[in-house]
Each structure stands twice: as C-alpha cells, then as structure tokens.
Amino acid sequence: MSTGLFDQLVGLSAGVLLLTSVLLVWKRSLVAAVRLLAVQGFALATLVAVIGVNDHDAQLMAVAGLVLALKGFVLPWVLDRSRVRTGAVREETPLMNTTAALLALSLLTMLAYLVSQPLRVLVPGPTTAAVPVGISLVLYGFLLLTTRRHAISQLVGFLVLDNGIATVAFLTSGGVPFVVELGASLDVLLVVLILRVLTSRMTAKFGGADLDELMELRD
Amino acid sequence: MAALILLPLVTCLVLAASTAALRSPALCRFSGLAAAATVLGSGIALSAAVLNGSPSTAGGLLRVDALSAFMLAVVGAVGLTATWGGLPTADAPQQDWMFSTLVASFLGAMSLAVLADNLGVLWIAVEATTIATAFLVGHHRTRRSLEAAWKYVVLGSVGVAVAFLGLVLLYAATVAAGRPTLSWVVLTQGHLALDPSLLKVAGALAVLGFATKAGLAPMHSWLPDAHSQAPAPVSGLMSGVLLSVAFYAILRVQAVVNPVLGPSLMRGLLITAGLLSLTVAAGLILRQRDLKRMLAYSSIEHMGLLALAAAAGGTLAIAAALLHVLGHGLAKSSLFVVSGRILAAEGTTTIADLRGLLTRRPGVAVPYLAGMAALLGLPPFSLFFSEVAIVVAGFQRGLGWVMVVAVLLLLVLFAGLARHSATMTLGTPGGTSVDDASAGSPDPAPHGRQAPLVLALGVTAVIGFASGPLSTLLHQAAAILAGAR
C-alpha cells in the first residue's frame, strides 16, 4: 500500500470514529445511538484492516474480522434487542444539556491531545498522529457514562470507551498480543451480556430502565 | 512443577463446567469448597516448591514466584473460609447450581490472576472476576441487589478498562523500545529502555484502574453496595480475595514503573489513595447503621493501609503488607460469614436492632467478637504485628507525617468499630427487637459450622509470630518486588 493512501485511510477511519462519537453525545435518540455504534465498529475494523494490510500482518487481518463481527454486528444487535425490550426510544433526562455536552467535548479533545503528546513525540507517524482520537473516544465514553441516566445510554458509553481503548491499542502497537486481544474481546462481550440481563431484570422490576430508580443504596 | 501450576486452574474450570452441566445436588453443594481446597493445596505446595528451588514457568504465560505462590495460598485460604463457613445447614435452602458455578469460576479466575506472568492475562483474569461476581452480587434479585450489581459491573469494568488502557500504553512503550512484551519478568529485568514520559501515563492509568477494583477511595463507591447486597460468603470472597488480588496487581505494576521513574510517582498516587480511603472509611464507619456496610468500609480502611505500605516500599513494608493481606482476608471472611448467620437468625443486619447478642445468641456473638478482635488488630492476631510493622516501615522510609495521620485515623476507626460491636453484642436487649427468641432462654445454636471459623481465626492468631518457612516466603516475595529497585 502506498504511503499516501495508507495515511489517508488511517485518517479517514479515525475521522469516522471521532465523528460518530460526537454524534453519540449530540443525539439523544437511543435508536440512532445503536446505529452509530455499529458504524463506529465498521470504522474500527477498517482501521485494523488497513494497518494489517500495510504491515503485511495476517494475524491483524484476522483480528479485523473479529472486531467487525463483534463491534459491527453482535454488540449493536444485543444492544438493540435490549433497547426494544425496555421500550425506550430516547434518553429523556441527561444530567447535561446538549450545548454544555458539546462544549465539554471540545475541552476533552484538547485534553486528549495533551495526554497523547509523549507518544506522538516518541514514535512520529500517521498512526500515532491519530492516537488523540482514541483518547478522545475514551474521554467521551466517560462523559456519556457520567451524564446519561438510561441503562442503554450507559452501555453505549461503556462501548465508546472500549472502542477508544482498542483504537489506541491498534494505532500504537498494532494491537496487544493475540491472546490478550481474544480475552479482552470475550470480556467485553460478557460484560455487555450481563448488563443486558440486569437491564431486563430492571425493566421487569421497575417497568423501565431509568437509572434514577437506583437511588436506594447510600450513606 | 508445571503440572502443579495448572492444577488449580484446571480443577476450578472442570468443577465450574461440570456443576453447570450436571447440576447434581452434591456438586452444587461442594464444588466451591472443593475449588477453594484445591487452590489452597496448590498454593501451599507451590510455596514449598518455590522455597526449595527456582521460579518456574508453564507455557510462557504462567509462572510462579514466591509472591504468586503466597497469593495463591491466600486465595485458597480465604476461599475455603468463605465457602466452608458459608455452606448452608441441612435444613436451610441449598445453593443453586449457578451460585456454585460462579464461585468456582471466580476462584479459578483469581488463581489465574496471581499465576499469570503476562500482565495482559492478569488483566483478563481480573476482568473475568467482575463477570463471575456480577450475578453473585445480584443473587437475591431484590431491587437493592440489582442496583448494587449494576453499579458494581459498570464501575468495575470501566475501572479495569482504564487499567487496560494503561497496559496498552505500556505495550506501546515496549514496542518503541524494540521488544514488544507484556511479560512481567521481562519488563522488570531492566533491559528495556522504556520511554519515561509514556511509562508515567501508562503506570498511572494502570494503577488507577486496578485501584478501582481494589476499592481504594475515591473509586470505592461500588464496594459498600456490592458487599452489603451480596450473599455473605460472596462478600467474604470479594473482600478477602478480590480486593487483595487487585492490590497484588498494583504491586506488580509498581515494580515495573519504579525502576525507570523512581518511586515518587507511585508513592504520590498511593499515599493519596491510602489516606483518602482511611478518611472515607473513618467518616462513614462512625455513623454506619448496617453491619455488612460497616464491614465493607472496614475493607476500604485496610486497603488504604495496604496502599500506604506499598507507598513506603522496601522489604519490611511489603512483607508486612502481604502478612496483612492474609490476616485481613481470614478475619474479614470469617466476619462476613458470621454476618450471614446473624442475618439468618435475626432477619436483619441493622446494628440498632441487634442488641444483646451475647446473651441472646452466644452461638453467633462469640465468633463475631473473636473475628472483630482480630480485625481491630488486637494481639495475638497477626493484624497487630503487620499494622505495627507497616507504620514502623513508613517512618523508616521517610513517610513519618503520613503514618501519623494514618495512625490517628486508625484510632478513630478502632473506636467506631468497637462501639458498634459493643452495641450489638453487649447492649441490653429490648426496644423494638423483643421477640420470642430474646424473651426466652439464650439460643446457643451457632447457625452453621464453627470449624472453619475456629480454623481461620486460629491461623490468624498464630501467623503473627511468623517464623521459619512463612517468614522466608514473605521476605522472598518482598525481595522479588524490591529486587529491581
């Protein structure tokens, strides 16, 4: 693959990752959130495949397939089933309004650039130049987790965070060792499945999955 | 020796799988117990092997040194106390297959965590425990346990995800240094020229993430909820095993970071977390109303103390911290088991409703008081010696003012725990809780087996005078961590 094309493809997939995350913070519709998450999964898989082709790394291409299956199809599907079951279509009561959230995003993005400075100095190149995108995704995930009050939105936040970490891993070192990658993917899948079961138990108990219901345990 | 490393992992896996598949009553009842006993046996055997020879590896991903052998024994010992003490009596409802499967998988994952040489595998094992314990916390399926389980899974997995980001950056640093690896042995050999500024971010994130799982403040908020809502044996397992293994992960990361960056970064983080944990625990124990939550905050206290020991560093502090891990694990799991029996007998764990237990129910009050004496660090229990050693080591290593603050907070905690325990066991029965049991003759029934509690607290009372093999093992373990320094 020519260097110019490689740079452009890495930049493009990183751009899609960032754009989808911004839209996730912007939009309150849970239906859109699940679709955006699937798009993000495709973008991440593309990124992995591009790096794999560039490095002539067959194992990394297999990982790209795994990422596509897990983050592009399985997890969004699980999430959508769960959403349908709770009967929710919108995040009704976020703790932060859209304007404030978008403002926070720009601050978090700047923070991401600051944090990833040592890495970009250490190994200059097109992949490490995109690392701030991964860190941004992690921070956006935190923002979603802390400001959204619906169970599905929190799940989305967790997955954005996880996508961010995966992005950093693939951009910095072509992914962690294969065994660790497999284990980590399995762990994420299981966590999401567990949260799905808990969500449906919540729906059965409170008739909804609004986390404001969860306020009994405190000191 | 390679077979001995695999034994606890394979046994736990087989027990978990066969319990889930066959669901026979015997398996449901005893698989957790059998798993814990196997882990303890392998831990002791591996400790003996380590003392006689050199560290060993299996398959490149697993290895045993003095530290992991000791931690494996801790996992087994605490696991045995919790599962054996928590066995339901013959007339009580029996554990279902899911409970036993999850307990066996939990113990397997914890064994994998301490035996893993690859930090990535260690991470996978710690995350796997979140998965195994999620349904254990939510086991009672009440509104409150659902809330506790949700908070626990979200906070726990986000915390360890942060740790994973730290490991990813650590791996990136090794890639830049020309030798991609996450093997702890390779990382601590000191041959790798790791970039200091990248390692700083990596180490801080990894410690922050594992500290969430260790229940250190300010990331502790899941802990009291999860511990108070989980069934008693599970609370004991989480407090004695899960927190300790997360602390063990912090020690391993610290040993990678310190040789490159010097001790100041980790020391700053750990002192902050340690003092904050002690403060939070002190503030909330004083006005705590629930027995299990009180025990949970006491776990935060002890993890804070361990963080301070890790901050001090050096052979004395680390050896004392490891002894403290064992003593705290045994005492706390015994107390949680007793709290489960109190709940079964009295129908509540609200401290104000549990007056005069010593006269009304000596069968549960006596073990409770013995466990609390151990937890408060009264001699001859080992927590006395380890706490003194940690404070002394802190002074030696230049953390004088930190230790002064810590001792003051420990005194507050001592007063709080002692006052609540006195209310529960001594106070005159009366008020709202007068029922048929308190009106009639005292009820001496222990509501469960006494042997595991006697054994656990007996061991806690004896190991303080650690000498011979245990002392050698602890010092070897501390030397492994301090070796690169």
Q: Chain A within 8 Å of B180 (Cβ-Cβ)?
A: yes
Q: Before B442, cis peptide (omega within 30)?
A: no
The span from the CA of B328 to the CA of B298, in Å, is 10
Give the gap in angstroms from C-alpha A94 to the nearest C-alpha of chain B: 17
Chosen from B130, B165, B219 to mutate, greatest number of chain A CBs within 10 A: B165
CB atoms within 10 A of CB B260: 19
- Which chain A residue has the Cα nearest residue B182? A177
Out of B118, B148, B172, closest to residue A173 by CB: B172
Tell me the pairing of strands B56-58 and B62-64: antiparallel
Chosen from B123, B160, B164, B220 to mutate, greatest number of chain A CBs within 10 A: B164
Of B323, B291, B331, the C-alpha closest to B388 is B323
Chosen from B144, B152, B169 to mutate, greatest number of chain A CBs within 10 A: B169
> pTM here?
0.94
DSSP collapsed to 3 states, A55-99: HCCHHHHHHHHHHHHHHHHHHHHHHHHHHHHHCCCECCCCCCCHH
The span from the CA of B14 to the CA of B34, in Å, is 11
For the stretch B390-399, pLDDT in tens is 999 999 999 9
Q: Chain B within 8 Å of A219 (Cβ-Cβ)?
A: yes
pLDDT at B429: 65
Residues near A77 by beta carbon (within 8 Å), at least 6 away in sequence: none
Chain B hits for A122, CB-CB cut-off 8 Å, are: 173, 176, 195, 197-198
- Greater confidence, A176 or A45? A45
C-beta separation of A45 from A64 below 8 A: yes
- The answer to whether the Cβ–Cβ distance between A158 and B123 falls below 8 Å is no
pLDDT at B192: 85
Question: What value does the mean pLDDT take over residues A18-42?
Answer: 94
Number of structural domains (chain B) is 1
- Which chain B residue has the Cα nearest residue A155? B154
Give the gap in angstroms from C-alpha B133 to the nearest C-alpha of chain A: 11
DSSP state of B290: B
Give the gap in angstroms from C-alpha B478 to the nearest C-alpha of chain A: 28
Question: What value does the mean pLDDT take over residues A88-104?
Answer: 87
For the stretch A186-213, pLDDT in tens is 889 999 999 999 998 888 888 877 887 7
Range of the domain at B110: 2-482
Chain B hits for A198, CB-CB cut-off 8 Å, are: 134, 138, 146, 149-150, 153
Give the gap in angstroms from C-alpha A125 to the nearest C-alpha of chain B: 12
Mean pLDDT per segment of 10 residues, for chain B of length 485 residues? 89 94 90 95 93 74 92 97 88 82 95 94 93 89 89 92 93 90 88 88 95 93 93 94 96 94 93 96 92 95 97 93 96 95 90 88 92 94 95 94 96 95 81 49 77 94 83 91 63
Chosen from B112, B117, B154 to mutate, greatest number of chain A CBs within 10 A: B154
Q: Chain B within 8 Å of A214 (Cβ-Cβ)?
A: yes
The span from the CA of B333 to the CA of B375, in Å, is 10
Chain B hits for A211, CB-CB cut-off 8 Å, are: 150
Domain spans in chain A, listed from the N-terminal domain onward: 3-211
- The answer to whether the Cβ–Cβ distance between B198 and A201 falls below 8 Å is no
Q: Chain B within 8 Å of A111 (Cβ-Cβ)?
A: no
pLDDT at B53: 78
pLDDT at B58: 67
DSSP state of B433: G
Out of A121, A158, A184, closest to residue B164 by CB: A184
- The answer to whether the Cβ–Cβ distance between A118 and B118 falls below 8 Å is no
Q: Which of residues 124-153 of A touch B (CB under 8 A)?
A: 138, 142, 145, 151
Chain A hits for B182, CB-CB cut-off 8 Å, are: 176-177, 180
pLDDT at A134: 94
- Which chain B residue has the Cα nearest residue A206? B143
pLDDT at B433: 47
The span from the CA of B234 to the CA of B226, in Å, is 10
Backbone dihedral angles phi then psi of residue B63, each to the nearest 5 degrees: -160, 160
pLDDT at B484: 44
Q: Chain A within 8 Å of B164 (Cβ-Cβ)?
A: yes
Please give the structure tokens belonging to residue B415: 């007063």
